[in-house]
């Protein structure tokens, strides 16, 4: 039985390449329409070379915009060669046969505006994914000198980009994604857990200072046990009960932390090492929560972008909702790090002295003479 001929390495590589995305064919169709009739450039709206996913397609589009359109009698080989010569220094892979491939790939040149809308939509998706990735990278980069501030600025840039996108794509019904992406778990490294333990111990030793930390919520903690202990501390303060290691131990028992979460001996040992102030550790925990929330928001937006079924307006709506979760935490972080200055009573203003002027006019007295 004859054996099949061995496949060459380059043939296997060509077969293993992923199939082009739908936008690839939209780009080919648009360029084919413009090569057939460059006057369609006036019909496609705002479109830039960097909107194309393929570098060669973008450079060919740039060349089409630079090259003066031919007369009303259609294109000519000379004009096509001029377009190709203009684009080739920036995209050497372009060839004359490929221009003919583009022309044949266009089913309806009159649909050029629709092809351009597809290219803009895919570019919006790629750009949004890039912004989300920058947000995630900034939130994870511990080498930045002002880590949280840099993350906040990147989130603002993402929000501004979404505002710009909303003006380019019209809204439509059904603007929520089909399936929400999973929320990534918090990274519970030992440094984060130590800071949370120190907060619980210090807040127990100084409950008066901890009562001012309304900006810290249980959801900001990386460990569920520490979040429940913080809830117990908050409940004791709100009820006006005494706060000390024994009362917190009793509260922990009623919240079901004993013995599954922590033993009484372990809890009392945890509460025996207060260090610094509750505000210091609370701010550290809130900063970690903000960075973790930024990474989670970036992961959600990236997952939305990776689903090709989502339209641009769906991406805008879902991304704004994801950013709203980060905005709420940012407000509490700003409240913690920039406390409001208490207002002082202003001294009573003394009335201004009267200005010099003519004496007031008075009516003359009427003197009656007796009859």
Q: What is the CATH number of the domain that holds 244?
A: 1.10.860.10
CB distance 268 to 249 below 8 Å: yes
pLDDT score at 358: 46
Residues 99 and 180 in one domain: no
My answer on whether 163 and 308 are in the same domain is yes
Is the residue at 362 inside a domain? no
Nearest to 162 by CA among 187, 185, 129: 129
160 lies in the same domain as 258: yes
Do 73 and 126 belong together in one domain? no
Rounded CA gap, 98 and 358, in Å?
96
Query: Please, is 140 exposed, middle or buried when counting C-beta atoms within 10 Å of its C-beta (0-12, 13-18, 19+)?
Result: middle
Same domain, 148 and 84: no
Decide if 347 is inside a domain: no
Domain boundary among 107, 138, 169: 107
Same domain, 94 and 138: no
**Domain total in the chain:** 2
User: Is residue 369 in some structural domain?
Assistant: no
Angle of helix 190-205 relative to helix 278-306, nearest 10 degrees, comes to: 140
Same domain assignment for residues 159 and 286 = yes
169 and 101 within one domain:
no
pLDDT < 50 stretches in the chain: 1-2, 4, 8-12, 14, 343-350, 352, 355-371
> How long is the chain?
371
Q: 28 and 139 share a domain?
A: no
**Which among 72, 107, 142 is the end of a domain?**
107
d(Cα 189, Cα 358) in Å, to the nearest integer?
82
Same domain, yes or no, for 166 and 143?
A: yes
Do the beta carbons of residue 178 and residue 309 sit within 8 Å?
Answer: yes
Identify the three-state secondary structure at position 235.
Answer: helix
Cα distances (angstroms) measured from residue 266 to each of 72, 194, 224, 262, 320: 87, 14, 16, 6, 43
**pLDDT at residue 342 in the model:** 53
Q: With respect to residue 177, please indicate whether it lies within any of the assigned structural domains.
A: yes
In a domain, 146, yes or no: yes
70, 87, 107 - which closes a domain: 107
One domain, residues 83 and 194: no
**Cβ neighbours of 89 (radius 10 Å):** 9
pLDDT score, position 365: 37
What is each CA distance from 254 to 137, 159, 249, 250, in whole angstroms? 42, 43, 9, 7
The pTM (predicted TM-score) of the whole model is 0.81
Q: How far apart are CA 311 and CA 172, in angstroms?
A: 10
Q: Which residues contact 7 (CB under 8 A, 6 or more apart)?
A: none
Question: For residue 266, what is the enclosing H or E element?
Answer: helix 264-270
Residue 348 forms part of a structural domain: no
Residues 245 and 321 in one domain: yes
Domain of residue 137, residue span: 119-337
CB 149 within 8 A of CB 155: no
Q: Is 302 among the domain residues?
A: yes
Decide if 281 contacts 202 (C-beta within 8 A). yes
**Is residue 65 included in any domain, yes or no?**
yes
- CATH code of 96's domain: 1.10.860
């Amino acid at each position: 039985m004859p054996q099949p001929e061995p496949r060459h390495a380059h043939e296997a590589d060509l077969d293993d390449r992923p199939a082009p995305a739908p936008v690839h064919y939209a780009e080919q169709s648009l360029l084919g329409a413009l090569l057939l009739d460059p006057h369609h450039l006036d019909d496609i709206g705002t479109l830039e070379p960097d909107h194309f996913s393929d570098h060669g397609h973008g450079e060919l589009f740039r060349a089409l915009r630079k090259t003066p359109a031919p007369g009303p009698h259609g294109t000519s080989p000379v004009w096509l060669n001029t377009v190709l010569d203009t684009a080739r220094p920036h995209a050497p892979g372009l060839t004359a046969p490929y221009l003919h491939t583009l022309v044949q790939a266009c089913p309806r040149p009159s649909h050029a505006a629709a092809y351009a809308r597809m290219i803009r939509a895919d570019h919006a998706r790629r750009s949004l994914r890039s912004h989300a990735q920058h947000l995630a990278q900034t939130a994870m980069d511990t080498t930045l000198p002002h880590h949280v501030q840099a993350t906040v600025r990147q989130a603002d840039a993402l929000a501004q980009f979404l505002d710009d996108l909303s003006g380019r794509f019209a809204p439509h019904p059904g603007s929520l994604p089909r399936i929400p992406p999973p929320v990534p778990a918090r990274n519970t490294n030992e440094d984060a857990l130590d800071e949370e333990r120190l907060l619980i111990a210090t807040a127990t030793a100084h409950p008066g200072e901890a009562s001012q930390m309304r900006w810290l919520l249980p959801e900001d903690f990386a460990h569920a046990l520490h979040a429940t202990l913080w809830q117990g501390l908050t409940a004791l303060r709100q009820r006006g009960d005494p706060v000390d290691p024994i009362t917190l131990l009793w509260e922990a028992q009623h919240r079901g932390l004993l013995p599954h979460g922590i033993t009484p001996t372990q809890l009392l040992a945890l509460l025996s090492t207060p260090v610094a102030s509750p505000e210091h550790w609370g701010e550290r925990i809130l900063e970690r929560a903000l960075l973790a929330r930024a990474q989670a928001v970036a992961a959600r937006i990236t997952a939305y972008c990776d689903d090709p079924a989502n339209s641009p307006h769906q991406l805008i709506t879902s991304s704004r909702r994801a950013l709203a979760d980060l905005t709420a935490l940012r407000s509490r972080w700003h409240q913690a790090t920039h406390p409001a200055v208490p207002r002082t009573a202003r001294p009573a203003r003394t009335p201004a002295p009267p200005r010099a002027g003519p004496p007031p006019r008075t009516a003359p007295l009427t003197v009656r003479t007796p009859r």
